[in-house]
Amino acid sequence: MGIQFKESMKDLKSFKPAKVIQDIKDTYQIQEVIKLAANENTFGASPKVLAAIREIDDEFIRYPDGKVRILRNKLAELQGIPEEKYFFGNGSFEILSLLSKILIDEGDESIVSETSFGWYKSVTAIEGGKIVVVPQVNLRVNLPGMLEAITERTKVIWICNPNNPTGNYVTHDELKDFLSKVPNHIAVVIDEAYAEYATNEDFPRVNEFIQTYENIIVLRTFSKFYGLAGVRIGYAIANESVIDELFKVKMPHNVNALAQKAAVAALEDIEFQEKCLRNNIEGRNYYETSFRNRGLEFVPSSTNFVLVNINCSSKSVCEEMLKRGVYIRPGAEFGLENYVRISIGRKEENEKVVETLFEILDEQDK
């Protein structure tokens, strides 16, 4: 008969993150791989981060600070938010899991947007919740549609802003109107993994909402802009009542000592942050100009990636790109058959991606 697993395990599938570079080298027998598929910061991390990690003497023999005090103080000061409103996790992936743990009972509903970050669905399914998908309108998150999808069983609404994989965002006024209409017993999670790149004036100023609404939970990460994806650290900003619940379910020592130290150093290096932002803007302009010149439609991006319509199967084009040592993400993985999502990297990486992509499109056109 074998071991009897939980009922909720029956239909669960394991989450498929982007491939790691070694996978590709092994599969395609190539030495060099350009990976612009997981929105990592290929500009690297601040030299101050490396220095801070090197400075660590024997602190690592002790368990890390469960309250993450130094980083908590630093963020609270920088963002002007009371430090009691912060919670830290082993990346925002973990915090999303913990949120579903404290919010979703079997049969509860969670609302997600079509074409968004896949983990919201996974964490709902793991807790035995029901996923309610709201179609997008012109590749934009449809907030009015999400309001209409609310039922008596709705427990949480997940909004990625700017949205991954489209790269666009809902504005301050749109979100404000939405929040004023969501019943306050429903949690609204705003995943701002790319907020540091969204310099648009009408991008939501969530600080204002956190003061007004007790049901909003904002997520940020050090994995993207700060270049610390391999170190694993992210945080939530929310009302103290949410933070208290998260502390009850979190694993002890979930945020390791190196990650805490690295994150503090990353926040302190303003010069490096400005450099990354400039590099990203230049790269984004380069991609957008290249696509425009070739007549390819793209979604204007407020992130470190671009979504572009290549008018043919993303699956086969990306497979061909892999063979030539370039890894970008096929939109097929997000339900967008003819699109590809390209992370913005260093100048030479971006140029290689465009060159290889256009080469393959030319070959197909023949």
Binding region for ligand PLP (CB under 6 A): 39, 91-93, 117, 160, 164, 191, 193, 221, 223-224, 229, 234
Q: Minimum distance between the CB of residue 200 and ligand PLP, rounded to whole angstroms?
A: 17
The pairing of strands 154-160 and 187-191 is parallel
Alpha carbons within 13 A on the beta-carbon side of 203: 20
Within 10 A of 294 (CB to CB), how many other CB atoms are there?
A: 14
Nearer to ligand PLP, 160 or 317 (CB): 160
Q: Minimum distance between the CB of residue 91 and ligand PLP, rounded to whole angstroms?
A: 3
Q: Which residue has the tokens 């290549």?
A: 310
Nearer to ligand PLP, 123 or 321 (CB): 123
Q: Minimum distance between the CB of residue 161 and ligand PLP, rounded to whole angstroms?
A: 9
Name which of 141, 136, 145, 124 is nearest 187 in CA terms: 124
Nearer to ligand PLP, 206 or 296 (CB): 206
Q: Minimum distance between the CB of residue 165 and ligand PLP, rounded to whole angstroms?
A: 8
Nearer to ligand PLP, 146 or 296 (CB): 146
Q: Minimum distance between the CB of residue 347 and ligand PLP, rounded to whole angstroms?
A: 23
Nearer to ligand PLP, 127 or 191 (CB): 191
Q: Minimum distance between the CB of residue 364 and ligand PLP, rounded to whole angstroms?
A: 29
Q: Note whether 341 and 165 are within 8 A (CB).
A: yes
- C-alpha 213/C-alpha 203 separation (Å) is 18
Strand arrangement, sheet containing 130-134: 86-89, 234-238, 216-221, 187-191, 154-160, 109-113, 130-134
Nearer to ligand PLP, 43 or 93 (CB): 93
Q: Minimum distance between the CB of residue 241 and ligand PLP, rounded to whole angstroms?
A: 23
Burial (CB count <10 Å: 0-12, 13-18, 19+), residue 127: buried
Nearer to ligand PLP, 223 or 290 (CB): 223
Name which of 229, 215, 104, 241 is nearest 159 in CA terms: 215
Tokens linked to 219: 């997520």
**Main-chain dihedrals φ then ψ at residue 134, nearest 5 degrees:** -105, 120
Q: Minimum distance between the CB of residue 300 and ligand PLP, rounded to whole angstroms?
A: 18
Nearer to ligand PLP, 91 or 204 (CB): 91
Q: Minimum distance between the CB of residue 259 and ligand PLP, rounded to whole angstroms?
A: 10
Q: Minimum distance between the CB of residue 191 and ligand PLP, rounded to whole angstroms?
A: 5
Within 10 A of 348 (CB to CB), how many other CB atoms are there?
A: 9
Tokens linked to 79: 């963002």
Nearer to ligand PLP, 189 or 360 (CB): 189
Nearer to ligand PLP, 111 or 296 (CB): 111
Residue in the shown chain whose Cβ atom is closest to ligand PLP: 91
